[in-house]
Amino acid sequence: MGPDEMEDPSVSARKLLNGPRAFLYEKYDPPFYILSRYDDVASALLDSETFIEGFGNGPNFQPALGILSDAPHHTFIRKLVQQDFLAKQINDLEPRLQAIVDDLLGRVEDKKVWDIHDDLSFPLPVIIICEILGIPTDDLDRFKRWADASVANMCSEDPLEYARDLDEMRQYLLAQVELKREDEQSEGLLSTIANAKHEGVYLSDDECAALATQIFVAGNETTTSLISNLIWRLLSSEGLWERFCKKEIDTDSAINESLRFDPPLLGLFKTTSKEVRMGDVTIPSRTKVMMHYGAANRDPDVFEDPEVFDVTRNGKKQLSFSIGLHVCLGRELAKLEARVTLNALRDRFPGLRLLGDGARVGPFLFWGRSRLPVSH
Ligand code: HEM
């Protein structure tokens, strides 16, 4: 978490890959371990009985709620929400995504300078997630504030720091849940959540608010960063944007390589349900362990020349969407959003160029640009 590592997470990835298999990070309260080797991270993610989700996926211990829980609760919740994220449902969103992107690009058409984050990669996922949930998209600034507070809260050592914004978000979502229950014709994922019954009883307010927040947060900052990171790499690597505009680079391959090289989430946490031996290190039971996707994606035992951004790479899967029971539910949606955006940008603004590197998003688990000024 030093300034060099924050500026370029590959610095910590290299250090971790050259260190012990389980690295104890003591400067955080509570201290946690970090797994970095590809095989260690992948095996831990697939062992959901030893590495459990039920204390939250950040470094702090949280109550098990919504989708951040373990079987059998997780099985029930995942089944409830996954219907809206099947490949067919997601593919059907393509025309709508195209319309939103066209509208956003239309608004910057006449601007001399605009910002990839503020004008494009931030609003797109917020609008589409709100539409999937079935809630109004009338106040994007408010959603932005809530989304920022939620991701910052995940990494914060002080649980009270973001309490006001988070409570406001909770009250808003609960009011929406009430509206969904009153309106029998209501549609959207929030209506499914509001009207779901577990053993004959509605989900509690805590469950509904947590689940809606998790879906809202999971799908926003991450997708925003995927889009901004990829545009940043294509524009800042010699000749890549020109090759992309000549259609010499396949959009999906570029998206996959961006996920490997610049994971929007550098890692998430599990908690040990028992003592775990990892090389020379023993991780105690009930301890937070970070699965460092960013380091695993650069493991030289698995990826050839891992420090090279190579859009023609294929082979072993990057871990940025995780694997196992909790594998990202929105991965097809995120990739489709990135594909539609990149293709539209290429067709509309082939002269796009960066005006500096902007700024990094704040919280240490996240890797993306909170500002990325461009001109076209
Ligand atoms: C590039 C964008 C995205 C990235 C990098 C990403 C990454 C991840 C990761 C690493 C996990 C954690 C899995 C674990 O705990 O082992 C996850 C879970 C999840 N993601 Fe995504 N995500 C992205 C976009 C989305 C989108 C668009 C949605 C849509 C709502 C979404 C919904 C979810 C949900 C609901 C979970 C929890 C799944 C579970 O615990 O069963 N994600 N995602």
Alpha carbon distance 183, 190 (integer Å): 12
- Domain map (residue ranges) of the chain: 3-375
335 Cα to the center of ligand 1, angstroms: 12
The CA-atom distances, in angstroms, between 325 and each of 67, 107, 194, 197 are 11, 41, 24, 22
Q: Which ligand 1 atom is the nearest neighbour of the CA of 78?
A: 41
Assign a CATH topology to domain 3-375.
Cytochrome p450 (1.10.630)
Probe ligand 1: pick from 57, 328, 361, max atoms within 8 Å of CB? 328
- Which pLDDT value is given to residue 93? 96
149 Cα to the center of ligand 1, angstroms: 18
The model's pTM: 0.96
A 10 A CB-CB count for 72 gives 8
109 Cα to the center of ligand 1, angstroms: 32
Residue whose CA lies nearest to ligand 1 atom number 14: 326
- Which pLDDT value is given to residue 173? 93
Q: Which residues contact 353 (CB under 8 A, 6 or more apart)?
A: 235, 374, 375, 376
For 191-197, the CB contacts below 8 A with 24+ separation are 191/134, 192/80, 192/81, 192/83, 192/84, 193/80, 193/81, 196/80
280 Cα to the center of ligand 1, angstroms: 32
pLDDT in tens, the chain (376 residues): 889 999 999 999 999 999 999 999 999 999 999 999 999 999 999 999 999 999 999 999 999 999 999 999 999 999 999 988 988 889 999 999 999 999 999 999 999 999 999 999 999 999 999 999 999 988 888 888 898 898 888 888 887 888 999 999 999 999 999 999 999 888 999 999 999 998 899 999 999 999 999 998 898 999 999 999 999 999 999 999 999 999 999 999 999 999 999 999 999 999 999 999 999 999 999 999 999 999 999 999 999 999 999 999 976 799 999 999 999 999 999 999 999 999 999 999 999 999 999 999 988 999 999 999 999 9
- Which pLDDT value is given to residue 223? 97
Residue whose CA lies nearest to ligand 1 atom number 27: 219
A 10 A CB-CB count for 294 gives 25
340 Cα to the center of ligand 1, angstroms: 19
- Which pLDDT value is given to residue 94? 97
Pairing between β-strand 353-354 and β-strand 276-278 as defined by DSSP bridges: unpaired
Q: Which residues line ligand 1 (CB under 6 A)?
A: 45, 53, 57, 67, 78, 129, 214-215, 218-219, 222-223, 226, 264-265, 268, 320-322, 326, 328-330, 333-334
- Which pLDDT value is given to residue 156? 83
355 Cα to the center of ligand 1, angstroms: 31
